[in-house]
Amino acid sequence: MAIANSKLFSAMYTSENRDVVEAVWRDNETGEKRVEMIEVEPGNALWEELLEHTDLEELQEMTNQMIFDMRKGFENDVIDIARKEGLVWDVNQADAMELYKGFAKAIFDNEWEVDKLGKEKLFCFKLQVFELPAFKKSKNKKLKSDLRKAKNMIDAVIIACELHKEIYPWKNTEMESIYKGEGDAAPSGKDIVEESVDTGYRE
């Protein structure tokens, strides 16, 4: 039952069956918190008393919020570990030319089906994408879920690009107009090579 001189601090279902609720009560004077496990069953005195302090809708909302908070905490812990292990890094500290050469080769010139480290590389790529501020703010839950579930690198890159189009629609519209001939002409292979010579990047 509700602990004397206490107020309900939080409550959440502890299983998908929603047959048990973990209720946390906070003492009004000391602030001390105590946990109570309550079976969801009509006629159960503890359950009936809990409903005097909350309702089913609020209980579900608290459950959803606590699951979200726990998931975010887990994701942050994973990212912190990945940083320490060198799986996530600051692109601004990398050598730009080597970075883009490596990206093109790693993504499009790799036999992913036989790459023994393919899963680890895919995991690293997803972590890095979700670490980008703009992707963190994206509200498109479906694309973000699709990216998490992507089974190979190419699919992951395609989905990340779709997210990018949604986050920066004006940038993508600008690029599309250029390559459709509405703006400057798309660079030819010769232009790219000549530019590479100017920057000292030609191999």
Closest CA to 82 of 125, 145, 115, 119: 125
Q: Inter-axis angle of helices 118-131 and 141-149, to 10 degrees?
A: 160
Lowest mean pLDDT among 58-72, 90-104, 178-192: 178-192
* Domain residue limits, the chain: 6-77, 86-167
- State the pLDDT at residue 178: 47
Closest CA to 5 of 30, 36, 32, 28: 28
**Is 70 exceeded by the pLDDT of residue 173?**
no
Mean pLDDT confidence for 162-185: 63
- State the pLDDT at residue 11: 92
Are 128 and 103 in contact by the 8 Å Cβ rule? The answer is no
H runs (alpha helix) in 43-199: 45-50, 56-85, 96-108, 118-131, 133-137, 141-149, 153-167, 169-179, 189-199
**Is 60 exceeded by the pLDDT of residue 189?**
no
The pLDDT tens digits for 109-153 are 767 777 777 788 888 888 888 888 888 888 888 998 999 999 888
User: Number of C-alpha atoms within 13 angstroms, CB side, residue 69?
Assistant: 7
Threshold 0.85, pTM exceeds: no
Pick the more confident residue, 92 or 24: 24
The pLDDT tens digits for 38-91 are 999 988 999 998 999 999 999 999 998 888 888 888 877 777 776 676 565 565
> Mean pLDDT across the chain, nearest whole number?
77
